[in-house]
């Protein structure tokens, strides 16, 4: 299956059919996103998505195999950007030798992830609302993202501990606690519960992470 785009691609790149396809995919995706946020992924039917996009139900299947692929198309660009930021942070932590380098690595990652979230507010809000949904096949792409983020986050904490840049009793427990706090903050910002300037989101995220992980510089 493709990543970030449906499997079927009618029309040559740059041609009229290709442009029509791009517009139709965008219309179906945005219509689905709004319906998912309002009603939940599991409760939204394909005919409702098609109707909201102003097309017939049969046209949905020209662009998507099912709701699961549509959800994958929505989340994949966001998840890839976040996971790549975490990978860059991992490389930086492997090269870090002091507390300042640790902080700088986390700051860069937090800034990149905050920018990704703020430029994809609806998609990330959907992720936060739905990735814990039990049993719904169409939410499986979101659960895979959540598992990947958790695994990468634990690896980051272990890297920092291995280099003597953090001191925590159990990297898994500390990481899960930080992830929960970060998700709660992001949800509050995206829903308007907290008024926080975009420029301050990254600083707040990094503060949560380092405080939650009990950052300590190596002993002299």
- Domain regions of the chain by residue span: 16-65, 73-212
Nearest to 21 by CA among 64, 51, 52, 83: 64
215 secondary structure, DSSP code:
B
CATH architecture label of 16-65: Orthogonal Bundle (1.10)
What is the band of 119 on the pLDDT scale with cuts at 50, 70, 90? Answer: very high
Q: Exposed, middle or buried, 197 (CB in 10 Å: 0-12/13-18/19+)?
A: exposed
What is the band of 177 on the pLDDT scale with cuts at 50, 70, 90? Answer: confident
Alpha carbon distance 127, 145 (integer Å): 9
What is the band of 18 on the pLDDT scale with cuts at 50, 70, 90? Answer: confident
What is the tens place of the pLDDT at every residue in 58-72?
A: 999 999 999 999 999
- The residue ranking higher by pLDDT, 127 or 159, is 127
Residue with tokens 């990947």: 148
Residue 219 has pLDDT above 50, yes or no: no
Mean pLDDT, the chain, whole residue set: 86
Predicted confidence at residue 14, as pLDDT, reads 59
Region 48-57: mean pLDDT is 96
pTM, whole model, 2 decimals? 0.85
Provide the CB-side half-sphere exposure for 18 (13 A, CA): 5
Domain 73-212 has CATH 1.20.1070.10: no
Give backbone dihedrals phi and psi of 119, rounded to 5 degrees, phi first. Answer: -90, -5
Region 31-37: mean pLDDT is 98
The four Cα atoms 38, 184, 161, 173 give a dihedral, to 10 degrees, of -90
Q: Which two tokens stand for residue 78?
A: 């966001």
């Amino acid at each position: 299956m493709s990543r970030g785009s449906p499997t079927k691609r009618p029309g040559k790149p740059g041609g009229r059919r290709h442009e029509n396809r791009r517009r139709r995919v965008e219309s179906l995706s945005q219509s689905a996103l709004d319906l998912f946020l309002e009603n939940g992924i599991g409760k939204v039917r394909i005919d409702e998505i098609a109707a909201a996009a102003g097309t017939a139900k049969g046209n949905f299947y020209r662009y998507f195999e099912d709701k699961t692929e549509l959800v994958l198309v929505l989340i994949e660009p966001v998840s890839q950007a976040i996971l790549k930021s975490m990978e860059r942070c991992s490389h930086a932590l492997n090269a870090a030798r002091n507390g300042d380098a640790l902080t700088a690595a986390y700051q860069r990652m937090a800034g990149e992830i905050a920018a990704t979230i703020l430029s994809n507010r609806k998609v990330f809000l959907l992720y936060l609302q739905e990735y814990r949904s039990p049993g719904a096949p169409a939410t499986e792409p979101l659960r895979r993202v959540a598992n990947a983020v958790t695994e990468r986050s634990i690896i980051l904490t272990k890297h920092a501990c291995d280099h003597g840049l953090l001191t925590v009793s159990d990297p898994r427990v500390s990481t899960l606690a930080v992830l929960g706090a970060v998700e709660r903050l992001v949800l509050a910002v995206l829903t308007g519960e907290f008024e926080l300037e975009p420029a301050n989101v990254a600083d707040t995220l990094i503060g949560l992470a380092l405080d939650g992980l009990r950052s300590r510089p190596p002993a002299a």
